[in-house]
Structure 1
Amino acid sequence: MNITYRSATPDDALAVSELARELFPDACPHFIPVDAIEEFNDDKLNETVFAEFLDQSERMIINLAQGEDGKLLGYTLLDTQPDPAELLDTVDKNSAYLSKFYVHPDARGTGVAHELMDRVVDDAQQAGFASVFLGTNIYNERANAFYAKNGFEIVGERIFPFAPGIDCTDYVRARVL
């Protein structure tokens, strides 16, 4: 499989949004109703949201993995100015926030995830961060195993307000660079 890795551009907003909307349900725990997932996608993963992220290139770093046919196979979003509310007391204040990390099922097991992670780490180091942190649902076994394998240690838990009346628990993980 011939994969190209590149930074996203404003022209990628629709394609990244479509990929995000397709892959996000994989990260959701079994108890989240389909309509709540669809509403989350509509509110938080639409083209306008990604266009805004891409307009903040000094803050939001989006990397893409793209197949030779042009299909997006994965994306990451690294926030270099995380909301202080996201930082638990256990997270280094000089940390970048890995807000999104998704790989299409067609590319799982091909090394795409590891290459994207290398790019996230490189971006964070080049920006001068001491660590990277993230949150992932406690029931997302595949993601939790991947992050552990890549040096992200659990440093706490947080409540993720998914939708009105639906809260999820995330592990907060950090990796020292």
Structure 2
Amino acid sequence: MSNNNIVIREIQPEDDQQIAKVIREVLIEFGVPKVGTAYEDKALDCMTKTYDTPKSKYFVIDHNGKIIGGAGISQLDNYEGNVCELQKMYFLPEARGTGLGAKMMAVCLEQAKQFGFEHCYLETLPYMKAATKLYARVGFQSLDKPMGYTGHYSCNVWMIKKL
């Protein structure tokens, strides 16, 4: 797939249904548990509203009107400190291996800096190897235990990056 006609932009209400479908499809593809992960998040069906809060933003990858991925930044839940969380970063197969992950990561981390966060935290699963490699490549480091409480107790890889 060429990067022509691909735009990374803020989510709009008309994107909600598409991005929820993308995220659930990717989670099913990877065999992720449906409990204790983003799969069961109520936020998936109303992403525009969920990210319409201070210091929170969600971006989608739009390819000619079709949403093929997304990622967001928001304050880390249940944590005292100036730490955001990289949230719900999932791409359909056609968006993988194209450099869009690195571009999306750059957009999200720049937004986190603009919001004034000092660190960015994320949670993932060990078998999401390509994503974990990308996170390490941009400076995320592994943690021994989770920070805050996101409700994603099935995710057992925790990483953080100083912004």
Q: TM-score scaled by structure 1?
A: 0.75
Aligned pair count reads: 157
Question: Which amino acid counterpart does residue 19 of structure 1 have in structure 2?
Answer: V
Q: Distance in 1 between matches of 2:31 and 2:7?
A: 28
Q: CA 1:157 to 1:106, structure 2 compared with 1: closer, same or farther past 3 Å?
A: same
Counterpart of 2:162 in structure 1 is 176
Counterpart of 1:17 in structure 2 is 20
Q: For structure 2, which runs of at least 5 residues remain unmatched after alignment?
A: none
Q: Tell me, yes or no, if the aligned pair for 1:95 and 1:133 is still in contact at 8 Å.
A: yes
Match for residue 5 of structure 1 among 4, 8, 27: 8
Residues 35-50 of structure 1 aligned to structure 2 (within 5 Å):
36=34, 41=39, 43-44=40-41, 48-50=45-47
Q: Distance in 1 between matches of 2:10 and 2:98?
A: 20
Counterpart of 1:73 in structure 2 is 68
Q: What's the % identity of the aligned pairs? A: 23
My pick for the range that moved more, 113-122 or 3-12, is 3-12
How far did residue 84 of structure 1 move? 2.0
Q: TM-score scaled by structure 2?
A: 0.81
Match for residue 61 of structure 1 among 57, 61, 64: 57
Q: Distance in 2 between matches of 1:150 and 1:24?
A: 23
CA RMSD of aligned residues (A): 2.7
Question: Which amino acid counterpart does residue 62 of structure 2 have in structure 1?
Answer: Q
Question: Which amino acid counterpart does residue 8 of structure 1 have in structure 2?
Answer: I
Counterpart of 2:93 in structure 1 is 105
Residues 70-149 of structure 1 aligned to structure 2 (within 5 Å):
70-79=65-74, 81-85=75-79, 93-149=81-137
Q: For structure 1, which runs of at least 5 residues remain unmatched after alignment?
A: 88-92
Question: Which amino acid counterpart does residue 63 of structure 2 have in structure 1?
Answer: G
Question: Which amino acid counterpart does residue 82 of structure 1 have in structure 2?
Answer: L
- The structure richer in strand per residue is 1
- State the SS of the aligned residue for 1:157: coil
Question: Which amino acid counterpart does residue 84 of structure 1 have in structure 2?
Answer: N
How far did residue 114 of structure 1 move? 0.8
Q: Tell me, yes or no, if the aligned pair for 1:62 and 1:77 is still in contact at 8 Å.
A: yes
Specify the structure having the higher radius of gyration (Cα): 1
How far did residue 98 of structure 1 move? 0.9
Q: CA 1:74 to 1:175, structure 2 compared with 1: closer, same or farther past 3 Å?
A: same
Could you list the per-position Cα deviations for residues 30-78 of structure 1 after superposition, in whole angstroms to 9, with x for gaps in the alignment? Answer: xx4xxx47x974x426764425314x2434311111112x111210021
